[in-house]
Amino acid sequence: MTGTAAAPPSVPAVRVPRRRGTEVALIVVAVLLSVYGYCDVGLAKNGTVPPGAAGYGAGLGVLALLAHLAVRFRAPYADPLLLPIAVLLNGLGLVLIYRLDLETPGDEAAPTQLVWSTVGVALFIGVVVLLRDHRVLQRYAYICVVTALVLMIVPIFFPAVNGARIWIRIGGFSIQPGEFAKILLAIFFASYLSANRNALAYTGRTVWKLTKLQLPTGRVLGPIVAIWLLSVGVLVLERDLGTSLLFFGLFVILLYVATGRTGWIAVGLVLAGVGAYTVGSLEPHVHSRVEDWLHPFASIDAGEGPNQLAQSLFAFAAGGMLGTGLGLGHSILIGFAAKSDFILATAGEELGLAGLTAIFLLYALLVERGYRAGLALRDAFGRLLAVGLASIVALQVFVIAGGVSGLIPLTGMAMPFLAQGGSSVVTNWIIVALLIRLSDSARGQPVGPPKEDA
Amino acid sequence: MTRYIRHAAAFCALLLIALLVNATRVQVVQSGHFDDNPANRRQAIARFGQPRGDIMVEGRAVTGSQDTGEQLRYERTYKNGPLYAPVTGYASQVYGTTFLENAEDDILSGTDPMLAPLPLWNDISRAQNPGGKVRTTIRAAAQQAAYAGLGGKKGAVAAIEPSTGKILALVSTPSYDPERLSGTSGSVARSWAALNASADKPMLNRAIRQTYPPGSTFKVVTAAAALDAGTVTDLDAATKSPSPYTLPGTSTQLTNEVDGCTNATLRYAFEWSCNTVFAKLGADTGLGDMLGTARNFGFNDSGLKIPSSVAASNFDTAMDDAQLALSSIGQYDTRATPLQMAMVSAAVANGGQVESPHLVDETTTDDGDVVENTGNHSLHQAMNPATAMQLRELMTGVVEEGTGSNAAIPDVTVGGKTGTAQHGIDNSGTPYAWFISWAQKSGEAQPSVAVAVVVEDAAADRGDISGGGSAAPIAKAVMEAVLDGP
């Protein structure tokens, strides 16, 4: 149904189905599932339906409906799966946070998260309504990159929280500007690479003829490498490893997609390997993370009790195939980051491998729909932006889910939509808004032969 | 560009597969390994997440559960904790469980699969059974009488129903309140440290976990062996026993506390506890017969469980004649738990048959459906029934005419044996006062209670310590409590 780009170049154009009805139906399912989860938690913990169930359902429903109306009137051809998936993940995240709030009576995070979700949906609507054509963004590429760098540098002047200098605290609010920088940097990368991709792909010196490894001229490659190095450098300073890993992955993927040069991947992996090894062995903060990953039970053997990663693994294991049921697990044992970085452990324990797989598949579907929009778009900028945004979601999920489940060393990062964190939830709503805009352009464009293809 | 986008998408799919494979590894393949990690609190949380089943005495719970609302939610409480501590043991969040709390933990905590309504039901429903109940054989009045009788003194009492092996009383003093070890607060750790540091060892269950030299009460075993082996055939015939008696192969002379032991009859020697007569009797009977009889009474058995394990009582298997002579009067290396000596007395009362002692009548589900019924079963025939009849006569004589007169109960046939056990280097320690006995109501077919009492009365003058003086009144009180009961 989204294969318009691959359709034969037959004229007259067929009317593309808009599928807004499908979207509404799926949104209703998503809201009902969330309300069901909310009631389930209350029944399991207290034996009663939580008093706020109706209000919570109504709130989430109204937000989803407003978002839907914005899509219906301003992006009628958009992919009907994107919004329901975002609503479901956000609803499920609120359920999980509410569920953990019950274990920490003095420290409630769900109401704040609901406020941030509202802000996120408002910005979603704002983006869908105000941004009529994604190509406009290309014009602001340099403003984006400057803003991104400023946003990333500012937290250096604020005190570190739990070892990372990535927050700005003003009054009672704290925001994580690095989250927003993701989008801005993706826009810049997409813009720069789409403008210079021919130069990157076809010019430059051959380094070693046998491998056909050709380095582009420094004039073309220089600025973007500089931006990338700068951002990663800042993040290392701030000890925000997850985000630096994310930017690295984003950069390599977009460079590969833009130029089609496998050599970039090889260079990227070598650089990543050297960088990771150097940082991993020299930086004590990172080194301890790697040690924890290799030996999650070392602290138990040393008589200091389980660390967060061990507790997270215990939680996943306790879930088994089908989970303990919402509200019946003990993932709160993980401690202070249970609602944020480790939220997936609660999902793993209480929903089991079955529920976890469903959540992963929701993310996979979101990413796949992003890629599909990228494939269907005609302009290089749009294609790269769609791939970049979808890749951000994919990499985020992989880095944090792999970290808390012991697949890769742990790096602090928020699970998109699920985890507690205002900046994160707002950013992800904007990402979905941009994907909506891109898929609307992809599916709504006049049917005809693609103008260009690589 | 399309091709490369597809490649990137494939890369993302690869990441997804890696996540799913890893999640399967953690949640399914290795989950058991993680679940069983001792640092994983989930098992403890589940264990204490529901009230623990109760331990019952005569249909009334002597334990309880308190909802603390904490992570390890339910704490154990005890009614009359110090009185029943040797029976119940403790169930602590921090320090584990002992005695019945330990032996019946599966029932009490609800993990025993037999508690489930259907086999494998819980594996499917993920439900947890409510804790089951453990009904003990203890008689509250006998337990009270024993505890009150011991008072502030160090000692222990074990009482058995001879025909069934049901344990009617099991007391150890000084005791402690197991409730002090329930929960996770700092006071629990302080109680634990204080109880362990105490010189009185309040957590030691002297009735089943401590062995003492049985002293003269062991003469019941020696007499049984001698009568069974035919070393003596007539209770009233003079024995060829010098006084003092020189231990075979040595120059050590054994003396008596009482007069008239030279060539005394077995009856006189038993009633007045002549050491010389019984030392020679044991040596004459020989190691083989002595050891065989001791074993049949339950000595040297390290596998006895009631269901808590009972310390093995000891009768050496390789001794020269001098050592055997001393062992025959309950000295040298001979050691016995109070429960073992109650079994000796019960064997006499039960026609020579030793019934397996047990503390649990039956276990039930929370609703009262029987899970397991502890049937009676015999351990050994300790002696011939005819020998048992003769020993009953001898033991009755001790109470009616001899050293055990303090245990006499009007209108009740009471048999007993006193003991004063020397111990320590060169017998320097304050002797242990022993009394073992049984009682039969007139008109009843057989004795209904057998008791063993030991008192470590460190405060008393050495001369005042005797089984008849310190221990017999306690045994009498316990027997009366049982006889007066239902």
Separation in Å, CA of B52 to nearest CA in chain A: 20
Q: In chain B, what are the helix, strand and coil shares in percent, each to the nearest 5?
A: 40, 20, 40
- How high is the pLDDT of residue A206? 59
- The residue length of chain A stands at 454
CA-CA distance, A188 to A184, in Å (whole number)? 6
CB contact under 8 A, A454 and B2: yes
State the CATH number of the domain containing residue B227.
3.40.710.10
In a domain, B359, yes or no: yes
- How high is the pLDDT of residue B178? 95
- Tell me the β-bridge partners of B67: B74
Q: Which residues of chain A have pLDDT under 70?
A: 1-15, 162-164, 170-173, 202-218, 220, 224, 228, 231-232, 235, 446-454
Query: β-pairing, B167-173 with B154-160?
Result: antiparallel
In a domain, B76, yes or no: yes
Domain of residue B225: give its range: 215-484
Q: For chain B, how many helices (H) and strands (E)?
A: 18, 18
How far is CA A383 from its chain centroid?
18
Do B100 and B248 share a structural domain? Answer: no
In a domain, B384, yes or no: yes
- How high is the pLDDT of residue A177? 83
Do B77 and B220 share a structural domain? Answer: no
B183 pLDDT exceeds 70?
yes
Do B222 and B95 share a structural domain? Answer: no
CB contact under 8 A, A260 and B6: no
CB contact under 8 A, B1 and A353: no
In a domain, B304, yes or no: yes
Q: Which of B109, B144, B166 is the last residue of a domain?
A: B109
Do B348 and B233 share a structural domain? Answer: yes
Report the residue from A256, A383, A398 with minimal CB separation from B19: A398
CB contact under 8 A, A375 and B6: yes
Q: Is B437 a catalytic residue?
A: no
State the CATH number of the domain containing residue B58.
3.90.1310.10
CB contact under 8 A, B39 and A306: yes
CB contact under 8 A, A318 and B42: yes
CB contact under 8 A, B39 and A310: yes
Separation in Å, CA of B46 to nearest CA in chain A: 10
Do B244 and B99 share a structural domain? Answer: no
Average per-residue pLDDT for chain B: 90
- How high is the pLDDT of residue A68? 96
Separation in Å, CA of A65 to nearest CA in chain B: 31
CB contact under 8 A, A360 and B19: yes
- How high is the pLDDT of residue A164? 66
- How high is the pLDDT of residue B395? 93
Q: Which of B91, B109, B127 is the last residue of a domain?
A: B109
Taking contacts as CB-CB distances below 8 angstroms, the residues of chain B near A313 are: 26, 34
Strand boundaries in B115-223, DSSP class E = 133-136, 154-160, 167-173
The DSSP letter of residue B433 is E
- How high is the pLDDT of residue B421? 79
Residue of A313, A346, A350, A392 best to disrupt the B interface, most CBs of B under 10 A: A313
Report the residue from A360, A391, A405 with minimal CB separation from B26: A405
CA-CA distance, A438 to A432, in Å (whole number)? 10
Separation in Å, CA of B95 to nearest CA in chain A: 17
Taking contacts as CB-CB distances below 8 angstroms, the residues of chain A near B41 are: 330, 333
Residue of A314, A392, A393 best to disrupt the B interface, most CBs of B under 10 A: A314
Report the residue from A317, A353, A375 with minimal CB separation from B30: A317
CB contact under 8 A, A330 and B45: yes
In a domain, B195, yes or no: no
Taking contacts as CB-CB distances below 8 angstroms, the residues of chain B near A330 are: 41-42, 45
Are A20 and A390 a contacting pair, CB within 8 Å? Answer: no
Are A429 and A67 a contacting pair, CB within 8 Å? Answer: no
Q: Which residue has the higher pLDDT, B49 or A263?
A: B49
Report the residue from B13, B34, B41 with minimal CB separation from A333: B41
- How many distinct structural domains can be found in chain B? 2
Do B412 and B277 share a structural domain? Answer: yes
Taking contacts as CB-CB distances below 8 angstroms, the residues of chain A near B24 are: 353
Taking contacts as CB-CB distances below 8 angstroms, the residues of chain B near A305 are: 39
Taking contacts as CB-CB distances below 8 angstroms, the residues of chain B near A297 are: 37, 39
How far apart, in Å, are the Cα atoms of A390 and each of A264, B18, B175?
20, 18, 70
Report the residue from A297, A353, A395 with minimal CB separation from B24: A353
Q: DSSP characters for A183-234?
A: HHHHHHHHHHHHHHHHHHHH-SEEEEGGGTEEEPPHHHHHHHHHHHHHHHHH
Report the residue from B20, B28, B30 with minimal CB separation from A321: B28
| Omega of the bond leading into B174 within 30 degrees of 0 (cis) | yes
- pLDDT tens digits, residue range B426-468? 666 778 899 999 999 988 889 999 999 999 875 555 555 577 7
Percentage with pLDDT > 70 across chain B: 95
pTM above 0.80, yes or no: no
Taking contacts as CB-CB distances below 8 angstroms, the residues of chain B near A352 are: 27
How far is CA A216 from its chain centroid?
30
Do B334 and B449 share a structural domain? Answer: yes
- How high is the pLDDT of residue B78? 95
CB contact under 8 A, A317 and B12: no
A363 contacts: CB under 8 Å, gap ≥ 6: A89, A393, A394, A397, A416, B16
The type of residue at B142 is: A
Report the residue from B5, B19, B30 with minimal CB separation from A402: B19
Separation in Å, CA of B33 to nearest CA in chain A: 9
In a domain, B168, yes or no: no
Separation in Å, CA of A176 to nearest CA in chain B: 26
CA-CA distance, B328 to A383, in Å (whole number)? 101
What DSSP element (H or E) covers B360? strand B360-364
Separation in Å, CA of B305 to nearest CA in chain A: 35
In a domain, B17, yes or no: no
- pLDDT tens digits, residue range B212-226? 999 889 999 999 999
In a domain, B452, yes or no: yes
Taking contacts as CB-CB distances below 8 angstroms, the residues of chain A near B8 are: 253, 256-257, 371, 387, 391
Taking contacts as CB-CB distances below 8 angstroms, the residues of chain A near B16 are: 360, 363-364, 394, 398
ipTM value > 0.95 = no
Residues B1-8, mean pLDDT to the nearest whole number: 91
Do B219 and B83 share a structural domain? Answer: no
Catalytic member of B191, B216, B241, B243: B216
CA-CA distance, B106 to B64, in Å (whole number)? 17
- How high is the pLDDT of residue A454? 41
Q: Which of B84, B109, B134 is the last residue of a domain?
A: B109
